Amino acid sequence: MFFSRLAIFSCIFLSLSVNAADKQLVYVVSDLRIPFWQILQRGIEKKAIDLGYQLQVYSAENSAKRELEFMVKAIEKKVDGIIVSPTNSSAAVTLLKLANSAGIPVVIADIGADRGQYVSYIASDNHAGSYHIGQVLTERMHSLAWDKGSVGIIAIPQKRANGQARTQGFMQALSEAGISGADIRQQVTFSYQETYDFAQELIQIHSNLRALWLQGSDRYQAALDAIADNGKQGEILLLCFDAEPEFLQMIPAGTLVGAAMQQPFLMGEEAVTVMDAHLQGKTVKQQLLLPVLAISKKNIQQQLDIIKRNVLGLIGE
């Protein structure tokens, strides 16, 4: 009898182990060449390992066509769930329709969708984060008596819900402070050259330009180079959305006024946590907004541990 019970227990344990190993997730991401998505991916990977999921990652490299192909591939694999960071909010509609038809649940990690059914949308509070980093800038401009100057924006695509929210929040801060927006340029290739050219255009067209705001982080050097090449060092401030490891030195040094830092590692973890809860039949929130940290010289030291882990994904450092 003892051996029979042991055999039954072993079979049950083996079955549970196999089921855990068989759980599969796919992450379809717009472009892993961008550091933000790399960090978000690491958060997804960590939580997937913790919860016993196998994970495959497909990077569309900013191509809606490739993104669609990867979604079809994930559906054909009959995975348990799909996490997607779409190329834009309109493209997400088709992705959701395909997954819904196949009965595969989807969690959206950042960017958003114009419409469609999904388990949950895990996002940064782009509006509030941009508003608060706008306040950091306007306070600095007022302290320099530059409040008659204008601010140029190099934006992520405004077809994206997160891009719209960033612009709206930032412009609200400028308006409340009585500072004018100069102009906006929307990124397409996200390259160094594109960012440099946009920065140069804004500097040359607007003689009263006093600041540039990048709605991203990895091409900050292009903006700094354009400022330097136009002889405007010390005359035009720079701030960013998101973060790079170099910002830990650049913000205290004053090279950057500040940065609105999303928490992509945490976002990745939350996306898997929500998907796992849904697959267990639990009720989950359809939208979860994570705070964006408005970091400047004033608060960077107090926020350093959170920045290293949740923003930069520097686990154990």
pTM above the 0.95 mark?
no
pLDDT of residue 12: 32
pLDDT average, residue stretch 203-230: 97
pLDDT of residue 21: 54
pLDDT average, residue stretch 94-101: 96
Please state whether 97 falls in left (phi above 0), alpha (psi between -120 and 50) or beta. Answer: alpha
Please answer whether residues 293 and 261 qualify as being in contact, where contact means their C-beta atoms are separated by less than 8 angstroms.
yes
pLDDT tens digits, residue range 244-283?
999 999 999 999 999 999 999 999 999 999 999 999 999 9
Between 159 and 295, the higher pLDDT residue: 295
Tell whether domain 126-261 is in CATH 3.40.50.2300: yes
Which CATH fold topology does 2-124+263-290 show?
A: Rossmann fold (3.40.50)
Q: Report the distance separating Cα 17 and Cα 317, nearest Å.
A: 32
Confidence of residue 4 (pLDDT cuts 50, 70, 90): very low
Please answer whether residues 263 and 35 qualify as being in contact, where contact means their C-beta atoms are separated by less than 8 angstroms.
no
Confidence of residue 197 (pLDDT cuts 50, 70, 90): very high
pLDDT average, residue stretch 115-132: 96
pLDDT of residue 121: 95
pLDDT tens digits, residue range 145-184?
999 999 999 999 998 888 999 999 999 999 999 999 999 9
Predicted confidence (pLDDT) at residue 240 exceeds the cutoff of 50: yes
| Residue 183 CA, distance from chain mean position | 23
CA atoms within 13 A on the CB side of 29: 25
pLDDT of residue 283: 97
pLDDT of residue 13: 31
Predicted confidence (pLDDT) at residue 8 exceeds the cutoff of 50: no
Q: Report the distance separating Cα 314 and Cα 90, nearest Å.
A: 33
Average pLDDT over the chain reads 92
Q: Report the distance separating Cα 271 and Cα 259, nearest Å.
A: 24
pLDDT of residue 317: 55
| Domain ranges, ordered by start, for the chain | 2-124+263-290, 126-261
Please answer whether residues 89 and 116 qualify as being in contact, where contact means their C-beta atoms are separated by less than 8 angstroms.
no
Q: Report the distance separating Cα 33 and Cα 10, nearest Å.
A: 45
Between 236 and 34, the higher pLDDT residue: 236
